[in-house]
Structure 1
Amino acid sequence: MPVRITFLGGACTVTGSKYLVTHQGQRLLLDCGLFQGYKPLRLRNWQPLPVAPSQIDAVVLTHAHLDHSGYLPLLVRDGYTGPIHSTAGTRDLCAILLPDSGHLQEEDAAFLNRHQLSQHTPALPLYTRLDAQHCLQQFQAHAFSQPFEPIPGWRVTFSPAGHILGAATVLLEVGGRRILFSGDLGRPDDLIMNPPEAPPQADTVLIESTYGDRQHPAEDTLHALGEALQRLARRGGVAVVPVFAVGRAQTVLHAIHLLKVQGVVPAALPVFLDSPMAVSTTGLFEKHLGEHRLSAREARALSHGATMVQTTDESKALARRHGPMVILSASGMATGGRVLHHLALYASDHRNMVILTGYQAPGTRGARIANGEKTIRIHGQDVRIGAEVVQLSSASAHADADQTLAWLRRMPHAPQQVYVVHGEIGAADTLRQRIEHELRWHASVPEHASTGPA
């Protein structure tokens, strides 16, 4: 019986990654992500999977970002009882991210109900903090380069992918086939993370295409951020920086630390990290030395280079301060969380600044701000964007198109087929064409819910 892959997410979109591998009646789910961005995509989170969770035998995660892990609390709540296999770094991050995701969804639902802003009565969270905490009990951590069997006869090996702590590429060997999942590939020149390891030989490759149609700009992140913060300090404004609590927050903190050490920005410029999840994540860099470029001293400096804001009252108290100051807050695409309150408060004033770091998925508030829209909707209200908008495209933690192709070229031999996934349709198809024309490999862009041979 042939090995088959069904693309339940991350197909023709850069979110919701879920790939179901089936062989001889057994099923392995590779990644279990939430859909984010456009409302039609987010609505998919509320639709049942085409396979009952109780019929899935194992789950394997590439990394902890919610578009790869955030559906796990639902999967377990709806009947999945098997193991969730990951690296130790991914397990530690999911223990932070998933309960926080459930908490934010409970908060958002409560806000909508309190202000009667929902079309549903009552508005319900997709899942709760308790749902998320429950699924954490099923995690099993594995070391890089150490093969294991998630299902008897199925063999999986994790290799470092860069990108964020714990991120892995996954080699799955089953039914005589070698299937390689890239997950999200990091950059060879990342400010914090090590470069991804060279790919092993495989018959079938699933390659991400977040930046499949573009190259990172030649701008130097430190230089661009330094100039922006100099302007901010001179006019006494407030910079709101939407950041992913995992990865991007730490990269920006490290960059600001370097700029202060170099004397580029005032050493006294106040910096606040307003995200309990990001605060907890920052401490993990000391625990996972060796997975990133930072020394033990630099990893400690991450936690001491900013005021760590934990409670809601501490977050609200920031509104009573005057600029200049920098507020880093989740989420990275301004889809939810405390950053929305800061944007609502500061985005209209021309003295202030919104600094966008890296990819903004279409349909998110971050993308609308990046595209120059003059008003955005926050908590049912229109907020004018009068602040200066700065885009640090070079701060992305994803490999760009050239870097992705360079990684593929390091394979010992050409695979039989490549599926281009986890990218918007334009980016995915552009990368497909480059793989076919430049590498002379067979490549295709699978559609959502389609099934193909592995």
Structure 2
Amino acid sequence: MEKLQVHFLGGSGTVTGSKFYLHTAEIKILVDCGLFQGVKELREQNWERLPIDVSEIDYVLLTHGHLDHCGYLPLLVRQGFRGKILGTPPTLEIARIILEDSAKIQEEEADKANKEEYSKHHPALPLYTKEDAAFTLNFFEHVEEGKKVSLSDRCDATFLYNGHIIGSTYIEIDLFGKRLVFSGDVGRQVDELLDPPKQPKWADYLFVESTYGDRQHPDEDVGQILTNLIKETLYKKGTLIIPSFAVERLQSLMYQLWKLYKKNRIPNIPIFVDSPMGNNVLEVFKNFPNWHKLTIEEYHNMCNHITLVSSYAETWETIDDPRPKIVIAGSGMVTGGRVLTYIKQLGDMETTSILIVGFQAEETRGRKLLEGATELKIYGKYVPIKAKVNHLESLSAHADQGELLTWMGAIKNIPEKVFLVHGEKDAMETYKDKIHEKLGWNCHIPMMHEVVEILL
């Protein structure tokens, strides 16, 4: 028998910072390498060295390119990692865009904090720099979806389409005759832009996300909700601000708004997309047409209908534009990016509406808005919030409880153990009970930094 140690270094008891370290005598693998977001105690861990010998890691396997799955990579490299970082071609392209943008934002925010002296750190430093991010790209190596990759004599990995965002996969690791399945973030069964997720057929050990393990997405008429909000914005002669993740959510919103206009359900209201990273992601959609449903004609028509904001000067021009308008800007949880400038300048106006879409981690500004916050701390100062806050859950890129059970339902065997990860405590506890009720499987909810030993 061979001994495997699984170190839960992130995405355990929380939705962010996914990092799962597989340690054997033959091979050492890190599945995902994400940044923590949200709760301060978690974010502070981004500044700490990992409690493992990083130089021993042979491979990092990326399920997809979101920040909470790839954003720690430059720090991993700084700590001595010199192995290979594997992902599908669109995943590595998304990861490149996200790492470069993350480094740029961190440098800018550190510089702003030093100039305006609102940080308790003197000087305030970026978590990592653009140079760190650029150096990390040297270790990227793409793999084809569905093709088995040999990692060592007795270890193979296969990356399989699972929706969620462009390039996203779940990963099957065949190790010493056993199969470990890492779900990554499972996408929706019905999605405007993406196909339904593929499903694993066998799993000796299953590591499954549980972001929405405690709920079903509401059966909302997205088009009607957007139409009503836009009509209200026109009536108030105000601004509809939509904080958005740059990958998938932003493109999905663009597509929804373009369809509504094309069907004459909304007038030709100015729509601004202010997310340099999101604009770069649009190029990924263009370059990888086999990974999504948009035709090249639809892609160009959608882009031509919307104004893409690039420079920060254009951000201020958009804010000063007196016309009723829609602004989609990053970041999706209001943790950074240009949406902060819009909310800082327009959030105290009753003519402004804010539409929150998708999951909001604990203690993020997005979660605080949903919980009824009347002020937000932005760039060291408190900004009053008089804007009307709305929530649209059904545009989430994450499978809900029923969809997760459907995804797992194709597994023909009974896994020896199911590990629930990438979820908040209540969601995981509820999902654990539901799995036991529906499938009778043995589930475990690992804690942060827990080490589980498995004999294979």
Q: TM-score, normalised by structure 2?
A: 0.97
**Residue 192 (structure 2) aligns with:** 191
Q: What one-letter code is carried by the residue in structure 1 that aligns with 2:282?
A: T
**Residue 361 (structure 2) aligns with:** 361
Query: Quick one: distance in 1 between partners of 2:376 and 2:152?
Result: 47
Please give the secondary structure, in 2, of the residue aligned with 1:396.
coil
**Residue 302 (structure 1) aligns with:** 302
Q: What one-letter code is carried by the residue in structure 2 that aligns with 1:102?
A: A
Alignment of 1:352-391 (within 5 A): 352-391=352-391
Q: What one-letter code is carried by the residue in structure 2 that aligns with 1:357?
A: V
Alignment pair present for 1:350 and 2:331: no
Q: What one-letter code is carried by the residue in structure 2 that aligns with 1:356?
A: I
Query: Quick one: distance in 2 between partners of 1:18 and 1:376?
Result: 30
Deviation at 1:185, TM superposition (A): 0.3
Q: 1:69 to 1:302 in 2, by over 3 A?
A: farther
**Residue 32 (structure 2) aligns with:** 31
**Residue 172 (structure 2) aligns with:** 171
Query: Quick one: distance in 1 between partners of 2:15 and 2:280?
Result: 26
Alignment pair present for 1:275 and 2:275: yes
Say if 2:157 and 2:174, in contact at 8 Å, map to a contact too: yes
Alignment pair present for 1:422 and 2:422: yes
Say if 1:8 and 1:20, in contact at 8 Å, map to a contact too: yes
**Residue 435 (structure 1) aligns with:** 435
Q: Deviations over 1:298-335 (max 9, x none)?
A: 22233223111111111122122113111111110000
Please give the secondary structure, in 1, of the residue aligned with 2:187.
coil
Say if 1:283 and 1:303, in contact at 8 Å, map to a contact too: no
Deviation at 1:442, TM superposition (A): 0.5
**RMSD of aligned C-alpha atoms?**
1.1
Query: Quick one: distance in 1 between partners of 2:115 and 2:366?
Result: 25
Deviation at 1:152, TM superposition (A): 4.2
Say if 1:270 and 1:326, in contact at 8 Å, map to a contact too: yes
Stretches of structure 2 lacking an aligned partner (at least 5 in a row): none
Query: Quick one: distance in 1 between partners of 2:5 and 2:223?
Result: 45
Say if 2:26 and 2:152, in contact at 8 Å, map to a contact too: no
Query: Quick one: distance in 2 between partners of 1:277 and 1:58?
Result: 27
Query: Quick one: distance in 1 between partners of 2:215 and 2:404?
Result: 11
**Residue 82 (structure 2) aligns with:** 81
Query: Quick one: distance in 1 between partners of 2:79 and 2:5?
Result: 24
Query: Quick one: distance in 2 between partners of 1:70 and 1:304?
Result: 31
Higher mean alpha-carbon deviation, 312-321 vs 171-180, is at: 312-321
Say if 2:213 and 2:401, in contact at 8 Å, map to a contact too: yes
Alignment pair present for 1:91 and 2:80: no
Q: Deviations over 1:233-264 (max 9, x none)?
A: 22211111110111110010001001101111
**Residue 257 (structure 2) aligns with:** 256
Higher mean alpha-carbon deviation, 169-178 vs 8-17, is at: 169-178
Please give the secondary structure, in 1, of the residue aligned with 2:173.
strand
Query: Quick one: distance in 2 between partners of 1:248 and 1:74?
Result: 27
Query: Quick one: distance in 1 between partners of 2:33 and 2:40?
Result: 19
Please give the secondary structure, in 2, of the residue aligned with 1:395.
coil
Higher mean alpha-carbon deviation, 316-325 vs 333-342, is at: 316-325
**Residue 241 (structure 2) aligns with:** 240
Say if 1:2 and 1:453, in contact at 8 Å, map to a contact too: yes
Query: Quick one: distance in 2 between partners of 1:8 and 1:264?
Result: 48
Alignment pair present for 1:220 and 2:221: yes
Say if 2:49 and 2:79, in contact at 8 Å, map to a contact too: no
**Residue 154 (structure 2) aligns with:** 153
Deviation at 1:9, TM superposition (A): 0.2
Query: Quick one: distance in 2 between partners of 1:43 and 1:150?
Result: 33
Q: Deviations over 1:113-171 (max 9, x none)?
A: 11100111000000011111110111111111101023443200011010001000000
Q: Deviations over 1:250-296 (max 9, x none)?
A: 01000100110111111x21011111110010121122112222222
Query: Quick one: distance in 1 between partners of 2:420 and 2:116?
Result: 43
Query: Quick one: distance in 2 between partners of 1:199 and 1:111?
Result: 47
Please give the secondary structure, in 2, of the residue aligned with 1:361.
coil
Q: Deviations over 1:334-390 (max 9, x none)?
A: 000111000101111111111111111111000000111111111111111111111
Deviation at 1:413, TM superposition (A): 2.1
**Residue 62 (structure 1) aligns with:** 63
Deviation at 1:25, TM superposition (A): 5.3
Say if 1:3 and 1:175, in contact at 8 Å, map to a contact too: no
Deviation at 1:13, TM superposition (A): 0.1
Query: Quick one: distance in 2 between partners of 1:227 and 1:80?
Result: 51
Say if 1:3 and 1:174, in contact at 8 Å, map to a contact too: no
Say if 1:357 and 1:392, in contact at 8 Å, map to a contact too: yes
Say if 2:18 and 2:69, in contact at 8 Å, map to a contact too: yes
Higher mean alpha-carbon deviation, 40-49 vs 291-300, is at: 291-300
Deviation at 1:5, TM superposition (A): 1.1
**Residue 340 (structure 2) aligns with:** 340
Deviation at 1:230, TM superposition (A): 1.4
Query: Quick one: distance in 2 between partners of 1:192 and 1:391?
Result: 21
Say if 1:23 and 1:175, in contact at 8 Å, map to a contact too: no
Say if 1:225 and 1:392, in contact at 8 Å, map to a contact too: no
Say if 2:361 and 2:367, in contact at 8 Å, map to a contact too: yes
Q: What one-letter code is carried by the residue in structure 2 that aligns with 1:449?
A: H
Query: Quick one: distance in 1 between partners of 2:75 and 2:385?
Result: 36
Q: TM-score, normalised by structure 1?
A: 0.98
Say if 1:250 and 1:302, in contact at 8 Å, map to a contact too: no
**Residue 144 (structure 1) aligns with:** 145
Query: Quick one: distance in 1 between partners of 2:152 and 2:230?
Result: 51
**Residue 113 (structure 1) aligns with:** 114
Query: Quick one: distance in 1 between partners of 2:300 and 2:129?
Result: 32
**Residue 406 (structure 2) aligns with:** 406
Say if 1:2 and 1:175, in contact at 8 Å, map to a contact too: no
Please give the secondary structure, in 2, of the residue aligned with 1:195.
coil
